[in-house]
């Protein structure tokens, strides 16, 4: 009997059945997508770590003999032993375990068997953490699994609320029927079982289809990420991997979510007494309030206490005094009433009566719209900031950058060959070094002195001692041809010394986004004494004794380098370098650097001042070079340096990669926002279509007192505007506040953001929400307006 009853209900109420099935499909889709993406991101991270750092689990370093390797291999849980490196008398051995969860227990045992202490043992903690294996003695273990479970739990709870609404709408519409069945002997258990069987029948196929679709969507996301990151150098391609345990877990989790969602309203319905169920017609609060006298009842209409039909049809708003037994009260929907008349107030009452049912849709639409707008604003600001600090700033400084690893500039002789390549406008080879120098107080520029001195501007970046300042003085050693090009740029004649970038950031009157500079020192001093960056010396004894006067050799520390100054400038060379804000950067040619020595003429400069190990080659292409030509030029330059270990960067390709990654991030996050919007829209469809029978009775009563179909359509339009417009009204102030905070924190000009504000995408997203809500009301309203007035007032069956 119950089987026939359930089948009959499903066939006759396809709208509510489709609503339940759609909710189950969305739940399975969402959970399967999250599960597959989490699994594949985890798998990709493990692959990356193994490729970059190796797949070993434990490592022992010490004096290990051949027989010791056999001892390690004889441990039952040891899968493989590999000699990683040998530096006599010590040997490093990598150990791979079958059961990696025993690593922290067995590694000390292996070290003890070999006669080594705990200091000889090390663990691949990063890889082990990805396998959720952590040191049992660690008081703060990784919380990756807890974080993952918390996300799945939060998603499941939100989906339970969403699907619960669909089941509740379907089941609550049958309270009257189940009351009749209960009065003739149906037990609460039988009613609950019947409802759960219906839920299972409606959701089995959608759960399976949603899980498959979510897995396929996850594969699509991985493919899109690979396409967007195809230009990233050194990145290995991600391969989507299907995991049957993960897929099965997602289906089971979806099934439990659906069963809980169905059981909540089913249990509540089964606990109703027959009398309560029979008295409940399944109508919304507004209709119940109508019959209870809280809203205008028939006697009030017939007695003329409320406006007559002529006044109703004229659009005049009935006073709440008539609604509440003649007691004047202010309307709760004055704005809607002023904008749309009586239809606006009735629409407000209807939405208020269904506020619980629409709560999920409102929350989903608001969160999706808020997330989408904040995401767009964030990426817009990020793009503006990146262009400011990188692409626009350096677009005329470089086209190709080649890093020659672990090679001194003096040992590379290909600079001229690279400079002679077709399409090269400029080429500079350079290497960097870190040093410090002393600036006497008397040599500080008047502009800087007016700001309070170097310490007031730079804080701890400058050290004051004994009437002088110890400041950083980074060195950029350029090939001779490149340095001559820089001299021509600044108008300074080379004379066997350096060019000093004489500027310091005025942090008092400008921010880091729009920096203003003042001269650091006066430009009379022609000799600087440099020490290695790690040196900390007193400023006394080796500062210049007067402007333009060199320090005596005896006053200088032994580990120092004397460097003459050819000139001062505030114009940096066209290099892709970020110079320190509170330093005296110096540029000098390679020929001068090779001749530099200490004050006594003993050791060379590199004895005291440590050079960075890498050399850089900056190439500027001729104007109008296409991306394809730039790629060819990059390949030709790298080919000339075939004997060295190099890394190359291409400005146009970097820009394309950055844009692709930003679009990819927006696409993925936008898809999640769209999924939230779909959940909200599905809830709107569910509520709209699920309330068809109740609203038939509601609007039949309105039409019985003279309300026309046109006024009903107007009422629908008001409801559409409220449902779709409420997320907009909530979101815009929040988005404006968040965006304002981000603009303030990043010190960007608000007008720059307004010029690039993502108005069109936000408008399209809102119109999509508005369109789907309108479609849901169009379908439901069309069914309502087709109903017979007499049948709707008389019928207590499922319509």
The model's pLDDT over 700-718, given as tens digits with 9 standing for 90+, comes to: 777 777 777 788 888 888 8
Comparing CA positions, the residue from 482, 458, 488 lying closest to residue 470 is 458
Question: Is residue 645 predicted with pLDDT exceeding 90?
Answer: no
- What CA–CA distance (Å, rounded) separates 393 from 389? 6
Question: Is residue 331 predicted with pLDDT exceeding 50?
Answer: no
Q: How distant is the alpha carbon of residue 593 from its chain centre?
A: 46
Mean pLDDT score of the chain: 76
State the CB neighbour count (10 A cutoff) for residue 559: 15
- Give Cβ neighbours of residue 700 (< 8 Å, ≥ 6 apart): 787, 789, 792, 793
Question: Is residue 543 predicted with pLDDT exceeding 60?
Answer: no
Tokens of 22: 């759609």
Regarding predicted confidence, which is higher, 416 or 228?
Answer: 416
Regarding predicted confidence, which is higher, 528 or 292?
Answer: 528
- Give Cβ neighbours of residue 348 (< 8 Å, ≥ 6 apart): 332, 333, 336, 337, 718, 722
Regarding predicted confidence, which is higher, 246 or 258?
Answer: 246
- What CA–CA distance (Å, rounded) separates 792 from 696? 6
Question: Is residue 498 predicted with pLDDT exceeding 90?
Answer: yes
Buried b (16+ CB within 10 A) or exposed e, 452-485: eebeebbeebbbeeeebbbbbbbbbbbbebbbeb
90: three-class secondary structure by DSSP: strand
> Torsions phi, psi of 767, nearest 5?
-65, -35
Runs of H (alpha helix) within 186-242: 188-228
- What CA–CA distance (Å, rounded) separates 370 from 362? 12
What is the C-alpha radius of gyration for the chain, rounded to an integer number of angstroms?
Answer: 38
648 in Cβ contact with 601 (< 8 Å) = no
Angle at which helices 14-53 and 2-12 cross, to 10°:
90
Q: Where is average pLDDT lowest: 290-299, 630-639, 767-776?
A: 290-299
What is the band of 578 on the pLDDT scale with cuts at 50, 70, 90? confident
**The residue count for the chain:** 799
For residue 186, CA distances in Å to 294, 705, 783 come to 34, 40, 33
Angle at which helices 759-785 and 359-386 cross, to 10°:
160
Question: Is residue 293 predicted with pLDDT exceeding 50?
Answer: no
425: three-class secondary structure by DSSP: strand
Comparing CA positions, the residue from 296, 224, 223, 216 lying closest to residue 36 is 216
Question: Is residue 790 predicted with pLDDT exceeding 80?
Answer: no
486 in Cβ contact with 427 (< 8 Å) = no
Average pLDDT over residues 606-629: 84
Runs of H (alpha helix) within 14-143: 14-53, 66-73, 103-113, 125-130
* pTM reported for the whole predicted model: 0.59
**Sign of the alpha-carbon torsion through 472, 476, 477, 482:** negative
Regarding predicted confidence, which is higher, 321 or 595?
Answer: 595
- Give Cβ neighbours of residue 481 (< 8 Å, ≥ 6 apart): 415, 416, 419, 427
- What CA–CA distance (Å, rounded) separates 636 from 648? 11
Question: Is residue 63 predicted with pLDDT exceeding 60?
Answer: yes
What is the band of 85 on the pLDDT scale with cuts at 50, 70, 90? low
| Half-sphere exposure in the Cβ direction for 561 (13 Å, CA) | 29
Q: If you ran DSSP here, which 8-state letter would residue 684 be given?
A: H
Can you name the residues that pair with 96 across neighbouring β-strands?
80
What is the band of 422 on the pLDDT scale with cuts at 50, 70, 90? very high
Burial class (CB in 10 A: 0-12, 13-18, 19+), 11: exposed
HEC string of 53-85?
A: HCCCCEEEEECCCHHHHHHHHCCCCEEEEEEEE
What is the band of 403 on the pLDDT scale with cuts at 50, 70, 90? very high
**Sign of the alpha-carbon torsion through 147, 150, 154, 156:** positive
Q: If you ran DSSP here, which 8-state letter would residue 112 be given?
A: H
Buried b (16+ CB within 10 A) or exposed e, 496-520: ebbbbbbbbbbbeeeeeeeeeebbb
Residue carrying structure tokens 């399209």: 764
- What CA–CA distance (Å, rounded) separates 251 from 478? 63
Q: How distant is the alpha carbon of residue 69 from its chain centre?
A: 47
Angle at which helices 103-113 and 66-73 cross, to 10°:
140
Tokens of 431: 């290497």
Comparing CA positions, the residue from 435, 453, 778, 414 lying closest to residue 615 is 414
């Amino acid at each position: 009997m119950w089987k026939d009853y359930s089948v009959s209900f499903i066939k006759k109420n396809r709208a509510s059945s489709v609503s339940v099935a759609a909710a189950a499909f969305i739940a399975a889709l969402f959970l399967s997508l999250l599960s597959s993406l989490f699994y594949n991101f985890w798998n990709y991270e493990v692959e990356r770590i193994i490729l970059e750092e190796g797949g070993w689990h434990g490592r022992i370093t010490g004096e290990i003999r051949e027989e010791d390797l056999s001892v390690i291999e004889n441990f039952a849980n040891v899968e493989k032993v590999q000699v990683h490196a040998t530096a006599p008398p010590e040997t490093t051995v990598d150990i791979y375990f079958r059961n990696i969860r025993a690593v922290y227990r067995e590694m000390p045992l292996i070290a003890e068997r070999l006669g080594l202490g705990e200091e000889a043992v090390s663990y691949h903690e990063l890889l082990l953490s990805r396998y959720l294996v952590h040191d049992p003695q660690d008081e703060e273990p990784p919380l990756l699994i807890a974080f993952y479970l918390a996300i799945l739990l939060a998603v499941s709870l939100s989906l339970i609320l969403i699907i619960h609404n669909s089941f509740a709408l379907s089941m609550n519409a049958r309270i009257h029927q189940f009351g009749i069945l209960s009065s003739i002997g149906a037990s609460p258990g039988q009613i609950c079982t019947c409802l759960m069987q219906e839920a299972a029948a409606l959701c089995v196929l959608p759960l399976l289809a949603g899980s498959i679709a979510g897995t396929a969507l996850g594969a699509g996301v991985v493919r899109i990420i690979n396409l967007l990151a195809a230009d990233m150098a050194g990145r290995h391609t991600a391969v989507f991997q299907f995991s049957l345990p993960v897929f099965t877990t997602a289906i089971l989790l979806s099934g439990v979510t659906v069963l809980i969602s169905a059981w909540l309203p089913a249990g509540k319905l089964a606990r109703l007494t027959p009398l309560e169920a029979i008295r409940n017609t399944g109508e919304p609060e507004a209709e119940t309030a109508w019959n209870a006298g809280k809203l205008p009842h028939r006697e009030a209409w017939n007695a003329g206490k409320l406006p007559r039909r002529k006044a109703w049809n004229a659009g005049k708003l009935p006073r709440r005094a008539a609604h509440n037994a003649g007691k004047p009260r202010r309307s709760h929907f004055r704005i809607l009433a002023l904008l749309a008349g009586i239809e606006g107030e009735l629409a407000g009452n209807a939405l208020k009566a269904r506020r619980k049912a629409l709560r999920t849709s409102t929350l989903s639409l608001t969160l999706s719209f808020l997330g989408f707008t904040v995401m767009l604003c964030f990426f817009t600001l990020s793009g503006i900031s990146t262009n400011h600090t990188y692409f626009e700033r350096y677009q005329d400084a470089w086209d190709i950058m080649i890093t020659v690893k672990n090679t001194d500039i003096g040992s590379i002789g290909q600079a001229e060959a690279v400079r002679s390549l077709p399409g090269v406008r400029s080429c500079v080879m350079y290497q960097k070094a870190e040093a410090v120098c002393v600036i006497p107080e008397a040599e500080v520029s008047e502009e800087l002195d007016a700001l309070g001195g170097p310490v007031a501007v730079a804080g701890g970046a400058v050290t004051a001692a004994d009437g002088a300042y110890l400041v950083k003085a980074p060195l950029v050693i350029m090939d001779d041809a490149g340095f001559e090009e820089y001299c021509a740029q600044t108008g300074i004649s080379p004379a066997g010394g350096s060019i000093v970038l004489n500027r310091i950031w005025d942090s008092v009157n400008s921010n880091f986004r729009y920096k203003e500079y003042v001269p650091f020192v006066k430009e009379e001093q022609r000799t600087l004494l440099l020490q290695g960056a790690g040196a900390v010396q007193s400023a006394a004894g080796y500062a210049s004794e007067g402007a333009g006067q060199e320090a005596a050799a005896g006053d200088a520390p032994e580990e120092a380098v004397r460097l003459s100054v050819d000139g001062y400038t505030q114009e940096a060379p066209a290099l892709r370098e970020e110079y320190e804000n509170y330093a005296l950067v110096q540029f000098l040619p390679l020929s001068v650097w090779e001749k530099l020595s200490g004050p006594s003429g003993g050791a060379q400069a590199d004895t005291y001042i440590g050079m960075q190990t890498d050399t850089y080659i900056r190439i500027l292409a001729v104007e109008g070079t296409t991306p394809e030509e730039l790629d060819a030029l990059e390949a030709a330059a790298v080919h000339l340096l075939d004997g060295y270990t190099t890394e190359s960067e291409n400005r146009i390709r970097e820009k394309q990669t950055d844009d692709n990654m930003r679009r990819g991030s927006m696409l993925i996050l936008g898809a999640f926002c769209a999924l939230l919007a779909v959940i909200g829209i599905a809830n709107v469809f569910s509520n709209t279509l699920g309330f068809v029978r109740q609203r038939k009775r509601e609007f039949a009563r309105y039409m019985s007192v003279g309300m026309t179909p046109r006024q009903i359509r107007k009422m629908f339009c008001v409801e559409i505007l409220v449902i779709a417009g409420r997320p907009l009204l909530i979101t815009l102030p929040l988005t404006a506040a968040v965006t304002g905070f981000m603009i303030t924190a990043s010190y960007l000009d608000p007008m720059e953001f307004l010029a690039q504000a993502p108005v069109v995408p936000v408008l399209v997203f809102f119109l999509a929400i508005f369109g789907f809500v309108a479609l849901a009301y169009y379908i439901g309203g069309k069914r309502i307006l087709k109903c017979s007035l007499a049948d709707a007032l008389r019928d207590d069956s499922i319509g």
